[in-house]
Structure 1
Amino acid sequence: MTGFWNIAAEQPGRTAVIDPDGTEVAYRQLADKADAYARGLQELGLEVGDAVVVLQPNGAELLAAFFAAIQSGLYVVMVNWHLVGPEVAHILSDSGAKAFLAHERFADVAIAAADEAGLPPSARFAAGHVEGFRPVAELGAGGHGRPKRRTAGSPMLYTSGTTGRPKGVRRPLTGADPDEVPAASTGFFGIFGLKAFDDHVHLCGSPLYHTAVLNFAVISIQLGHPVVLMDRWDPEEMLRLIERHRVTHSHMVPTQFRRLLALPEEVRNSYDVSSLRNMIHGAAPCPPEVKRRMLDWWGPVVTDYYAATEGGGTVISGEEWLRKPGSVGRAWPGSVIKILDEDGRELPPGQPGVVYLKMGDSKFEYHRDKAKTERARVGDLFTMGDIGHLDEDGYLFLHDRKNDMIISGGVNIYPAEIENELVMHPKVADVAVFGVPHDDWGEEIKAVVQPADGVVPGDELTRELLGYAREKLAKFKLPRSIDYLDELPRDPNGKLYKRKLRDPYWKGRERAI
């Protein structure tokens, strides 16, 4: 039988989680901790629909907090631990958090955030020592068994904030039995051919505060797949863990593919990756050449998908991708994908427009931001602001983010196309392309490059990169200038905070899009 608590009852010794330090945590151990936390939160007075905020690294501790909330009708907010105190304080306040579960690794941020948000001492808990926080082990201490009130809670995940302050995506609670695996979860894994048990092992190499990363980990546990957690992703360590634990599936981002491919060939070939069945990637565009090289190495187990925290998406297998290179796939079962123009009219195949999605009768709203919710919708469809087109067979091809599109001399230019070419140059570690003000053309193309290790930035490198680009791109797509940074601002899931690079150039000016 599937379901976290069902497996804990029937197979208590079965491994649920392998912590980053190698400690194996059984289902029963994890369930007991989740039960204690749920009892403790109820004893604090948290009611159905209240929120608990979690600021913790990858580990069984975080997953216990998640399952505690999920079985007691709470919204659980996983916080990006790269945020600073005021940013975490915003999430504490915006979510209406009634409890805050932090980790001593982030003590300074946790204290500053809790103080700024005015969170009472009774609502502050920590794994390890954090001044002014109670030990998290005090939650539910002295009691035993399941919490008195049991009803399904939900993640309340905050969008990454690449275009503004993070907004919480809040769905109505279902009132379902938390012991039952939601049909949406089994259906989602079914899209990728992942069945319950079936000797599956999931590897989690990215932070669990990301929507997709968290979903893959907790659904894996619900379906009897042990979850191997990494604290900090490292390419060779990932290969070691795949071989050691016979990993079958993972959720990845293109940046990780590129770092794997950068390993010496003898290192890549020294690890057995034959256990892999479905290595799933999303969150950021993958340059076609990177995808081809991964398929050459791992075989057709590399699956791409396009989806949103808000719901709905597409999927494409490795074999399909070789027939439709560059596509992110067709709408998965129950999902709808449409391309609309600026007036909300549906566009024919081959014509680019704004990508809109829908997932069944899924409902969501941006917490405390009705205006943003309405701006993202046309009828029952919503958009993340991406530009793309569908081909005659219904396969989606993404061009770029609407906010990232450059309009120069009245011509639409898609930075992702330029980035996909420049990033393949051996002297480029990372690249961002965006529009900067130009008095005559409106915008001109700027590239910001993170040079590869040991490469010296300067005029000579600029000439080399522009010469390379001229062989790959039409003249009107060529960057007019290149700046250099030691590191581009990406989150650990691969998303680029392009706004942070672009905004200084537009200070005091208004972009047309």
Structure 2
Amino acid sequence: MPQSAEPRLAEQQLDLATLHEAVAAAIPDRECLVWRDRRMTWREVTDRTRRLANVLRAHGLGRRDGPHEPWESPHDHLALYLHNGPEYLEGLVGAHKARVAPFNVNYRYVDDELAHLFADARPAAILYHARFAGQVERVVQRLGGAPPLLLQVADDSGAPLAPGALGYEDALAAASAEPPPGVRPSPDDLQILYTGGTTGMPKGVLWRIGDLMHGPFQARRRDGAALTDVGEAVARAVRGGHRVLVAPPMMHGGGTWSALGGWCGGACVIFPHRVDGLDADDLMDVAERERATRMPIVGDAFARPIVESLERRPRDLSSLRTLLNSAAGISPGVKRRLLELAPGARLVDVLGSSESGFSVTRQGADARFALHPGAAVLSADRTRRLAPGEDELGWLAKGGGSIPLGYLNAPEKTAATFLTVDGDRLVVPGDRARLLADGTVEVHGRDATTINTGGEKVFAEEVETVLRGLPGVTDALVLGRPSERWGSEIVAVVGPADAPDDAALRDGCAPHLARYKIPKAFVRTGRTLRLPNGKADYAAARELVETSLDGPGETGE
């Protein structure tokens, strides 16, 4: 049946635009956003987001109410083709104030990838940094159709204003700073999060903003209950005083969720000086200078450089209370050293996806995860919830209301991923897990990275975790390659280029892994194995394997 435009939940929900306005009215002069030499109050950010909303509305953009399917969007769409910075957050909030659905663009994409994304998302407007002007112009011409509204943000590239584009600052200056007339944002308004494409072409996940607020943005009371009253949410924001330092790129969910979740709690959001890549020295300098209290990171790709930076020059991180790690694991030794160097902080590992938000968490050195509210482990056939202690490798699932509607323009993929089990709607992104007798969860990894070797299933992430904990190994990715004997055999790409020899690596794995899980071959590299967001770059790893190892291997037993 078509999805109604009315709120689908019985309880009241918050929306981002309304809450942002209400928090700004309560704390107008408190610091809201810091980047380089720019310090903006809540009043100033509100002024700018209203102006952007009025620019979008003046060009006819908004929402068309009426019935729609869960894989359809009733909004015009705003592409955010930006590095981290004030304009990214202004784009998100300003779009919601205009009832336009924003979506993320991976700034690493080449023309073909960008054309695929824009053909699927159909942006009515593109907000982009000047350095991307040429690519935007080429892809827009290639797609044809009505040209989108182009808003170009000046940067240090020196690129001139593209033909037909509006300078972002000039457009804001010419627009009204009053709320857009006649616009009433709703919890039903959508925000689109495109997946990273690590398991196929990127898919646009359709999140209701009300579900994002009560899910990934964590607009909840201390007891876990959802905040449904604007006044109560504002009171919480007034009491808050967090300063959230966001280094992961906001073109991925973790960075966006950390920043907007911070704003929902009245926090000041801070960006490091460098935003086109990780500079750990810069990040730690900003953390010290701005007295950051919370900082999201992404696995060893962030943790190792941070540790090295702090070992070179210790900083005063006494204000730092929480390190929130997601999207990739941190090796045990690196985790221990990080906490030694930031002794007042707790490290929280969260596991989730673009489709589920956060599903499980763990703290400290614990290897097991605790289920978030609404999360469950389903049976292997995905027909029922497993009970604690059932000896079955199942699927991690998330329900509880605060999950997306589906995938944009993809009814079949929506039906395959969003299921109804025992009357409850759940999302099953593809992570395999086991529910232990004490109710904790043993996570085995994404099914897409599972390798079938000789009839045995091997989860790449399990082997990677062991390898990254070995002396002399800074990173590792594991994949399968064709084998006449095994069907697929396990191979590992490890860094650095002078990592220990094969025998030493196999010996190091032996106490922790069954024999069939130990890699049959190793490739060493000095190149990074991580994407800009810290996630594993399996495409690069496979290329290294294909160029370094000739033909199927038959080593080992």
TM category, shorter: 0.7 to 0.9
Match of 1:35 in 2: 50
Match of 2:407 in 1: 366
Residues 1:210 and 2:252 are matched in the alignment: yes
Alpha-carbon offset, residue 275 of structure 1: 1.0
Correspondent of 1:396 among 441, 452, 477: 441
Match of 2:184 in 1: 150
Alpha-carbon offset, residue 389 of structure 1: 1.0
Match of 1:476 in 2: 516
Q: Which moved more, 1:76-85 or 1:134-143?
A: 134-143
Q: How many Å separate the matches in 2 of 1:224 and 1:192?
A: 18
**For 1:345-384, what per-residue CA distance to the aligned partner results, in whole angstroms no more than 9, with x for missing partners?**
4445253222222232634111111111122233222222
Correspondent of 1:131 among 145, 153, 162: 162
In structure 2, runs of 5+ residues without a counterpart are 1-17, 64-74, 155-159, 226-232, 553-557
Correspondent of 2:306 among 250, 260, 263: 260
Match of 2:348 in 1: 303
Question: Given residue 241 of structure 1, which amino acid in structure 2 is its aligned partner?
Answer: V
Match of 1:492 in 2: 532
Alpha-carbon offset, residue 159 of structure 1: 0.5
| Equivalent runs, 1:225-374 vs 2, <5 Å | 225-230=267-272, 231=275, 232-254=277-299, 255-263=301-309, 265=311, 267=313, 270-299=314-343, 301-316=346-361, 318=363, 321-322=364-365, 325-327=366-368, 329-333=369-373, 335-342=374-381, 344-348=383-387, 349=389, 350-360=391-401, 362-374=403-415
Q: Secondary structure at the match of 2:495?
A: strand
**For 1:151-202, what per-residue CA distance to the aligned partner results, in whole angstroms no more than 9, with x for missing partners?**
144321101100111000113576x9xxxx9455443585899963432111
Q: Secondary structure at the match of 2:490?
A: strand
8 Å CA contact retained: 1:312, 1:359: no
Q: Which moved more, 1:288-297 or 1:214-223?
A: 288-297
Q: Secondary structure at the match of 1:40?
A: helix
| Equivalent runs, 1:100-179 vs 2, <5 Å | 100-118=126-144, 120-121=146-147, 123-128=149-154, 129-132=160-163, 133-139=165-171, 141-148=174-181, 149-152=183-186, 153-172=189-208
**For 1:204-236, what per-residue CA distance to the aligned partner results, in whole angstroms no more than 9, with x for missing partners?**
011111112112112212322111112243223
Correspondent of 2:427 among 356, 361, 382: 382
**For 1:277-335, what per-residue CA distance to the aligned partner results, in whole angstroms no more than 9, with x for missing partners?**
221111123333433333444346111112222235344453xx44xx212x32223x1
Match of 1:7 in 2: 23
Moved over 6 A (4+): 191-194
Match of 2:11 in 1: none
Alpha-carbon offset, residue 126 of structure 1: 0.5
Alpha-carbon offset, residue 493 of structure 1: 2.1
Q: Secondary structure at the match of 2:482?
A: strand
Q: Secondary structure at the match of 1:169?
A: strand
Alpha-carbon offset, residue 52 of structure 1: 0.8
CA gap 1:277/1:317 in 2 versus in 1, 3 angstroms: farther
8 Å CA contact retained: 1:46, 1:98: yes
CA gap 1:213/1:34 in 2 versus in 1, 3 angstroms: same
CA gap 1:298/1:391 in 2 versus in 1, 3 angstroms: farther
**For 1:94-138, what per-residue CA distance to the aligned partner results, in whole angstroms no more than 9, with x for missing partners?**
112111111112223222222223364561221123422221234
Q: How many Å separate the matches in 2 of 1:253 and 1:466?
A: 27
Question: Given residue 227 of structure 1, which amino acid in structure 2 is its aligned partner?
Answer: V
Q: How many Å separate the matches in 2 of 1:343 and 1:154?
A: 28
Identity of aligned residues (%): 26
Q: Secondary structure at the match of 1:83?
A: coil
CA gap 1:467/1:66 in 2 versus in 1, 3 angstroms: same
Q: Secondary structure at the match of 2:95?
A: helix
Q: How many Å separate the matches in 2 of 1:474 and 1:491?
A: 30
Q: How many Å separate the matches in 1 of 2:281 and 2:529?
A: 23
CA gap 1:41/1:353 in 2 versus in 1, 3 angstroms: same
Question: Given residue 203 of structure 2, which amino acid in structure 1 is its aligned partner?
Answer: K
TM-score by length of 1: 0.86
CA gap 1:215/1:190 in 2 versus in 1, 3 angstroms: farther
Q: Which moved more, 1:292-301 or 1:439-448?
A: 292-301
8 Å CA contact retained: 1:39, 1:139: no
Q: How many Å separate the matches in 2 of 1:173 and 1:226?
A: 21
Q: What RMSD over aligned residues (CA atoms) do the two structures have, in Å? A: 3.0
Question: Given residue 416 of structure 1, which amino acid in structure 2 is its aligned partner?
Answer: E
Q: How many Å separate the matches in 2 of 1:501 and 1:483?
A: 9
Match of 1:75 in 2: 101
8 Å CA contact retained: 2:240, 2:265: no
8 Å CA contact retained: 1:312, 1:358: no
Q: Which moved more, 1:59-68 or 1:343-352?
A: 343-352
Question: Given residue 491 of structure 1, which amino acid in structure 2 is its aligned partner?
Answer: L
Q: How many Å separate the matches in 2 of 1:131 and 1:198?
A: 42
Q: How many Å separate the matches in 2 of 1:391 and 1:283?
A: 23
Alpha-carbon offset, residue 23 of structure 1: 1.6
CA gap 1:233/1:86 in 2 versus in 1, 3 angstroms: same
CA gap 1:311/1:402 in 2 versus in 1, 3 angstroms: closer
Q: How many Å separate the matches in 1 of 2:220 and 2:137?
A: 38
Q: Which moved more, 1:149-158 or 1:62-71?
A: 149-158
Question: Given residue 337 of structure 1, which amino acid in structure 2 is its aligned partner?
Answer: A
CA gap 1:483/1:71 in 2 versus in 1, 3 angstroms: same
8 Å CA contact retained: 1:73, 1:173: no
Q: How many Å separate the matches in 2 of 1:261 and 1:437?
A: 38
TM-score by length of 2: 0.80
8 Å CA contact retained: 2:61, 2:98: no
Q: Secondary structure at the match of 1:187?
A: coil
Match of 2:463 in 1: 418
CA gap 1:426/1:118 in 2 versus in 1, 3 angstroms: farther
Residues 1:97 and 2:123 are matched in the alignment: yes
In structure 1, runs of 5+ residues without a counterpart are none
Q: How many Å separate the matches in 2 of 1:91 and 1:480?
A: 38
8 Å CA contact retained: 1:390, 1:397: yes
Q: Which moved more, 1:160-169 or 1:360-369?
A: 360-369
Question: Given residue 274 of structure 1, which amino acid in structure 2 is its aligned partner?
Answer: S
Alpha-carbon offset, residue 492 of structure 1: 2.1
8 Å CA contact retained: 2:491, 2:521: yes
Alpha-carbon offset, residue 41 of structure 1: 0.7
8 Å CA contact retained: 1:341, 1:347: no
Q: How many Å separate the matches in 2 of 1:192 and 1:52?
A: 32
Correspondent of 1:18 among 34, 38, 47: 34
